[in-house]
Chain A
Amino acid sequence: MRPVIQIEDLKKQYQIGDQEIMALRGVSLTIDEGDFVAIMGPSGSGKSSMMNVIGCLDKPTSGEFYLDGQPVSLAHDDELAVIRNQKIGFVFQNFNLLPRTTAVENVELPLLYGGASAKERRERAIKALISVGLAERLNNKPNELSGGQQQRVSIARALVNDPVILLADEPTGALDTKTSEEIMGIFQRLNDAGKTVILVTHEPDIAEYAKRIVRFRDGQIISNEVVQERRIAQAEEVRT
């Protein structure tokens, strides 16, 4: 298996006022292609900092980070923007869709910054929306969609550029149990198709949909183990 994420002795330090906070105290982690990893930990454990670094939204203070074989720790802002655009698909807890913008336009957004033609953008966005079961909701705006549907749009947006990793930050945090299971079903199906998925969550039930759980505490990894009794989402119910 080819590693898509290689992290060596990663440290992240924040300055809040005159206080220095060590959010990550030397973390090493490798995630292979096709893996499905849940990152867990209480708040303040460093899991959010870890996610920000993996998502190339923030730069580590020290340490090495290779994404898809490419060194990232020294890249500057615009290079990181390109990496986020090409290699990472984000799914957020609160969906983070643009308001007053239709589903298909939201999904097109990453392609807009990637420089695809208008026709290609539209085709790929529609394909991505169909793959998450939203063929009938292409031209609805976020406020016309349910929470589950909005999260599907956001997954479609994450997928549209065919990224190396899908990075989901509490993707079910704002959803009810049934919808959560549907969303996790989509992640499992995508993972079965070969997509590497990294899930940040504090809910043990949700983490059990992953293949592996990495636990953080006080800025360090305290455990990294394969899920013994993995939950399999019931065949996702496609509501459109």
Chain B
Amino acid sequence: MSLIECVRVSFRSIRANGLRSVLTMLGIIIGVAAVIAMVAIGEGTSSSVASQINGLGSNLLIVSPGQATQGRVSLGAGSLNTLTMADAEAIAENDSVAGVAPSVNGRAQIVWGSNNYSSSLEGTTADFLQVRNAEVAQGRFFSNFEVTRQFNVAVVGTEVVSNLFKNATTNPIGQTVQINRVPFTIIGVLKSQGSSGMTNNDDRILIPITTAMSRLTGGKNVGTIYVSAASSDVMDKAQQDIRQTLRAKHNLRPQKEDDFRITSQSDILSTAQEVSSSMTALLSGIAAISLIVGGIGVMNIMLVSVTERTREIGIRKAIGAKRRDILRQFLIEAVTLSLIGGILGIAFGVGAALLISKLGSLSTSISLTPILYAFLTSSLVGVIFGVYPARKAAQLKPIDALRYE
């Protein structure tokens, strides 16, 4: 019997028991749909995380204060205040470094007329734009002169503008606002960048770091120093230079540990990707189990089908079907069943992924690999779980099968 005939016969028998076939397929459908949706979510998340991290800046190195230890117990990153403006200036002198933007962070209340808004405040230097991959949409950024002279100027994000000036058509540039009761002049608006991870890049106020330290946050220490390396080739060199500079600056003896930490963008990226890929693996593992359960459902229904159709098998054998004809017929039926389930599952999975990215905050990315993988797996499930029932059918003796009531 030809392949096409087998497929035709199996379609007929699947149709003859419509509801039963659909219920059987449901296991496969759910399994495949789950795999597709999970992989899409996993890949979507990891690529959006990657783009967020890349959006932080180019060739970015992040220098953060070291961890204090108390009786050998680490108090966590940032528990030491070891970085200063002088450190930042020293780092900038290295050839491998293109820009240095030290920063201090805090929250601030910004008031304009009767409107007020609370946003995050960051004190930084003129290198911010270059180091952090930002652009000014309107007005200008503050200059190094303004930084050294502690000018009361501010550059704000679009979110701040829309919240502070509400419906007013006022041009924000040149307006005087109160930031924590200190008057500032808005000189620029940042180009919208969207959010990266948990932080909204459009919801911030930037002021000269010197102004921030003296008038708002107090203290002499800077929180984090963002450094951009001269090029991607000198990332390692830049990291070494910064380390040497800081060790010399902090008078650390050779056996002493660093009291700061340098993280590169690629470190963050690979950590984030590791997390999301193990997440994807976990989710697809769970989904794969439901595929196996679906396969058992197929096997179960094929066994029922073989018993029900014992007489048909007898007739077919009596008029000349060989073992392998019967084997092939039932195997193809099992594969057809699970393949239809697989195709429906792919459709549902893709649909679910699209729906999730449309409705929810999770981004999804649908690629061909998991679809092919699901397609192959579901046909493999059909073969694996169809072999036993099909063999059982093929081994029936024609006289016994014909006599079966």
Contact = CB atoms under 8 A, between A and B. Distances in A.
Nearest to A160: B319
Given A78-B322, A90-B319, A96-B311, A113 B399 contact: no
Contacts of A86: 320
B16 interface: yes
Contact of B317 (A81, A98, A100, A161): A81
A144 interface: no
Given A85-B320, A92-B402, A113 B315 contact: no
B319 A98 contact: no
A100 B12 contact: yes
Contacts of B311: 96
Interface string A199-237: 000000000000000000000000000000000000000
Contacts, number: 60
B323 A78 contact: yes
Interface in B303-319: 311-312, 314-319
A194 to B, nearest CB: 22
Contacts of B293: none
Interface in A47-67: 52, 55, 57-58
Contact of B402 (A57, A98, A109, A161): A57
B315 A81 contact: no
Interface string A81-116: 110111000101000111111000000011011100
B320 A84 contact: yes
Nearest to A169: B402
A81 B1 CA distance: 13
Contacts of B146: none
B315 A82 contact: no
B402 A96 contact: yes
A109 B316 contact: yes
A113 B322 contact: yes
Interface in A113-170: 113-114, 157, 161
A78 B326 CA distance: 12
Given A57-B398, A57-B402, A84 B323 contact: no
Given A84-B318, A86-B320, A113 B398 contact: no
A8 interface: no
Contacts of B324: 78
Contacts of A98: 312, 315
A77 interface: yes
Contacts of A85: 319-320
A99 B12 CA distance: 11
Contact of B399 (A57, A101, A161): A57
A57 B320 contact: no
Contacts of A161: 320
Contacts of A57: 318, 398-399, 402
Contacts of A109: 315-316, 319
The interface size bin for chain A is 20 to 34
B222 to A, nearest CB: 81
A113 B319 contact: yes
B159 interface: no
Interface string B362-401: 0000000000000000000000000000000000011100
A101 B2 CA distance: 17
A201 B316 CA distance: 23
B5 interface: yes
B5 A81 contact: no
B398 A110 contact: no
B356 interface: no
B74 to A, nearest CB: 74
B325 interface: yes
B399 A100 contact: no
B92 interface: no
A81 B12 CA distance: 25
Nearest to A110: B319
A97 B402 CA distance: 11
Contacts of B1: 112-113
Contact of B16 (A58, A96, A100): A100
A112 B6 CA distance: 10
A161 B16 CA distance: 29
Given A57-B398, A58-B399, A113 B318 contact: no
B301 interface: no
Contacts of A112: 1-2, 5
Nearest 9 Cβ contacts at the A-B interface: A85-B320, A113-B320, A81-B322, A110-B319, A78-B322, A57-B399, A96-B315, A57-B398, A113-B321
